[in-house]
Amino acid sequence: MSKWFIGLMVCFFLSSYVVAQPEVRVGVLKFGTVNWEIDVIKHHQLDKKFQFDLTVMALASKNASAVALQSKAVDIILSDWLWVNRQRFEQRMYTMYPTSMATGGLYVSANSAVKSLADLKGKKVGIAGGAVDKSWLLLQAYSQKKYGLDLKKQAEPTFAVPPLLNRLMLRGDLDAAINFWHYGARLKAAGYKTLVTVPQMLAELGIETKIPLLGWVFDQTWANEHPEAITRFLQASLEAKQILLSSDKEWQRIRPLIKAENEDVFTLLKKDYRAGLLREFGDKEIAASQQVFEILAEQGGSALVGKATALSEGTFWRNNTLDKTSRAKSLQ
């Protein structure tokens, strides 16, 4: 038997033992800030580093993301834990690895006559996320406790999509507004200030711990069946966040994706993104999230929480490879 033939047979048998890299299919909003992180993963080939194949599907809306996950067109989406919790009470057992904190607040112009929430009586308050927006509900609970003020009745809530809300604020058609964090950064760049921040609202309501808001959401059964795939993806995600946390050069590279209108907007987007990263997550943060759930359920009712009566034990995904120590070490 020739050496050539023996070598060929050895190669054949070795190749039969090569295990294909797991594929991870991620659905992201087409113009969402999550694309910054995905771009970092792709540019630095972190999927190759952590040995998985990343497939990205661009989606048009939050509802489209939910449909894509539920139909198994994708494995992972970015969403909030209240949505996950609601699904679990409908026997759809999704779970979430939290990534970012609840931030932002209520914005007013620098020369506004509104100096406290008590001044909002009869004023127009813009809200970007609809009647069950989490920040709006927290603001209602905060104003009731601190000022005895029912903003739904004593102010004039005005709901609009985020870009329109900013335009209304800049035109002076609104007295105050709650918008998503990257639109809030643009208001700050235009000279607007926060009358009260989400962390201040939470502190007044007895919650000092920094709580999560958004995270990577996936089916619990899928994660149990594909532990390497989810762990490798989350390791790549953490490393991408660390790059964005530490490298100003990287922000210059992805600047075309950010679409900042000017240098001030760019600087604030970078600063606020970094400030919003969740650096710790454990039992303390879960307990605080349960407190927040109770507040939001009281304010938003079934329109927000569905059939959920508490925080499901499996809403947040725990993994020994990616515990609090690993997260803290990654996001220094």
| pLDDT digits 0-9 by tens, 90-139 | 999 999 999 999 889 999 999 999 999 999 999 999 999 899 999 999 99
Q: What is the pLDDT of residue 318?
A: 85
Q: In whole angstroms, what is the distance from residue 27 CA to residue 4 CA? A: 47
Decide if pLDDT at 296 tops 70.
Answer: yes
Q: What is the pLDDT of residue 31?
A: 87
Q: In whole angstroms, what is the distance from residue 182 CA to residue 184 CA? A: 5
Over the stretch 211-269, which tens digit does the pLDDT of each residue have? 999 999 999 999 999 999 999 999 999 999 999 999 999 999 999 999 999 999 999 99
Over the stretch 26-76, which tens digit does the pLDDT of each residue have? 999 998 999 999 999 999 999 999 999 999 999 999 999 999 999 999 999
What sign has the CA pseudo-torsion 238, 320, 276, 330? Answer: negative
Q: Are 21 and 45 in contact (CB under 8 A)?
A: no
Q: Are 107 and 184 in contact (CB under 8 A)?
A: yes
Q: What is the pLDDT of residue 330?
A: 63
Question: Helix/strand/coil (H, E, C) string of 102-164?
Answer: CCCEEEECCCCCCCCHHHHCCCEEEECCCCCCHHHHHHHHHHHHHHCCCHHHHCEEEECCHHH
Q: What percent of the chain has pLDDT over 70?
A: 91
Q: What is the pLDDT of residue 95?
A: 98
Over the stretch 82-101, which tens digit does the pLDDT of each residue have? 999 999 999 999 999 999 99
Q: Which residues contact 66 (CB under 8 A, 6 or more apart)?
A: 77, 79, 83
Look up the pTM and report it.
0.90
Question: Which has the higher per-residue pLDDT, 16 or 298?
Answer: 298
Q: What is the pLDDT of residue 267?
A: 97
Which letter does DSSP use for residue 227 in this model? Answer: H
Q: What is the pLDDT of residue 4?
A: 52
Nearest Cα to 212, choosing from 295, 286, 283? Answer: 286
